[in-house]
Structure 1
Amino acid sequence: MTEQSPQLLDLLAPDVRDRLAAAVARVEEDPAAVVRLFASAGRKVGRGPTDPDDALGVVHPLVEDVARGELLAAHARAAGDRAAVVETLRDLYDHGDGDERRAVLRALPRLDVGDAAVDLLRDALRTNDVRLVAAAMGPYATAHLDDAAWRHGVLKCLFVGVPLTAVDGLKARRDDELVRMLRAFREERTAAGRDFPADGQALLDAADAPAS
């Protein structure tokens, strides 16, 4: 197990942690085993929300996300080579279903891959899959997406219905250009007779509030 996720691991039942520990040990012995174990993690380790108020795992990881993140971290330790880790991530993402792709995206902040996986974020943000859009706007995006791509990611969240609580670093990275884009988006929605998301309005209200 890794030091990066003790709080997430504490959310898992003891029997789930035991099954996960066995899978992690297998990957540490044979890094190539991650491909098979990653795909079967939901069935062998468990599925379901870690937060009962987020049943779909949009903001908080699912049990299978935690398991798959641990497997990828174990693979990174065992492989010991950034290029090999990135190749595995691309393979798992390209050939995975939506849940597996989400798990890859969620794991990125804990893997030492630099900006080599930014294209996976860009791919996810081109979809309308809330699982992928939400996962793409985590800490890895905060660290590695350029300002223009990050701003468009925020708008994509509002467009597909991802709550802005899923966006990492929103307060720190909010800038005048994002506020301008949000106002333009609000005008478009209003002109079309559609509601503007409440958390988008809250973000605009915070931007308009006088500095304390």
Structure 2
Amino acid sequence: MTETAVIDDLRTRLEAALDGAARAWLDQATAEAAAHRGRPEQRPAPLWELRFAEAGRRCGQDHADAARVLLLHTAEADPATLTRVYEQGTAAERRAVLLALPHLVEGPGTLPLVEDALRTNDTRLVAAAVGPYAARHLAPHDWRHAVLKCLFTGVPVAAVADLDRRARADAELARMLGDYAGERTAAGRTVPGDLHRVLALAAPTAPSAAAAPSAPATPSTGEDQES
């Protein structure tokens, strides 16, 4: 599916989920975003950025991410705009920027936003940070630490885009996972169940039983946060 088709599908599904007032707001907001394309940075902030901030209130928290990603794509937000919106935004707005990165940025220019999110303990920011953009551009060392961050914070490794390919036969990742499992076991703590899945990918011929107990606990992802 092309990028245009992906965004068109996102808008179709979003509009189907919204009521009349929210759809009217979305139409106006995307029109403002389209009008901003190709224009230099404005002060005060262009109207579409204000709409970006109010998407949760207008569309409901369940649909705010989709609305914000659609606005960023419609505005053709460049790395400078994405960085500004991220740095000025709430946690929810930052998450939407992270989700939009693979749709808007081809190169590694916005990796600092991913790295910033991975330094937090906000599980929804961490989950958004390990999506397709990180899979394409994070260096091996940083990507391995991103996987460990998911295990530390209880973010399911299912959130890690392209996990099977990037973890496959990665001996260094297997070593790091074994060290982490050993530390938790020595401290009398359970090992996240997701560790076994990643370890099987990273070192498929290595016995995992010695690295972690056979009945791990299911990690908690924590409560969602929204602004």
Structure 2-normalised TM-score?
Answer: 0.76
1:74 matched to which residue of 2? 74
Structure 1, gaps ≥5 residues long:
49-62, 80-84
Structure 2, gaps ≥5 residues long:
38-45, 206-227
**Among the aligned pairs, what percent are the same residue?**
46
* Equivalent position amino acid for 2:27 in 1: A
CA deviation map 1:30-79 (0-9, x unaligned)? 3522210110111112222xxxxxxxxxxxxxx21111000000111xx6
Q: 1:189 to 1:3 in 2, by over 3 A?
A: same
Q: CA deviation at 1:7?
A: 4.5
Q: CA deviation at 1:13?
A: 5.2
1:3 matched to which residue of 2? 5
Q: Please give the alpha-carbon distance, in whole angstroms, between the structure 1 residues aligned to 2:58 and 2:4.
A: 20
Q: 1:21 to 1:113 in 2, by over 3 A?
A: farther
* Equivalent position amino acid for 1:47 in 2: Q
Q: Please give the alpha-carbon distance, in whole angstroms, between the structure 2 residues aligned to 1:149 and 1:209.
A: 22
1:45 matched to which residue of 2? 59
* Equivalent position amino acid for 1:114 in 2: G
Matched residue count: 190
CA contact (8 A) 1:2 1:70 kept: no
Matched ranges for 1:1-212 at <5 A: 2-12=4-14, 14=16, 16=18, 18-19=23-24, 20-31=26-37, 32-48=46-62, 63-76=63-76, 85-174=78-167, 175-210=170-205
CA RMSD of aligned residues (A): 2.2
Q: Please give the alpha-carbon distance, in whole angstroms, between the structure 2 residues aligned to 1:3 and 1:208.
A: 37
Q: Secondary structure at the match of 1:4?
A: helix
Q: CA deviation at 1:15?
A: 6.0
Q: 1:208 to 1:30 in 2, by over 3 A?
A: closer
Q: CA deviation at 1:135?
A: 0.6
Q: Please give the alpha-carbon distance, in whole angstroms, between the structure 1 residues aligned to 2:143 and 2:113.
A: 13
Q: Please give the alpha-carbon distance, in whole angstroms, between the structure 2 residues aligned to 1:192 and 1:168.
A: 31
Larger gyration radius, structure 1 or structure 2: 2
Q: 1:6 to 1:192 in 2, by over 3 A?
A: farther
Structure 1-normalised TM-score?
Answer: 0.82
Q: CA deviation at 1:8?
A: 3.8
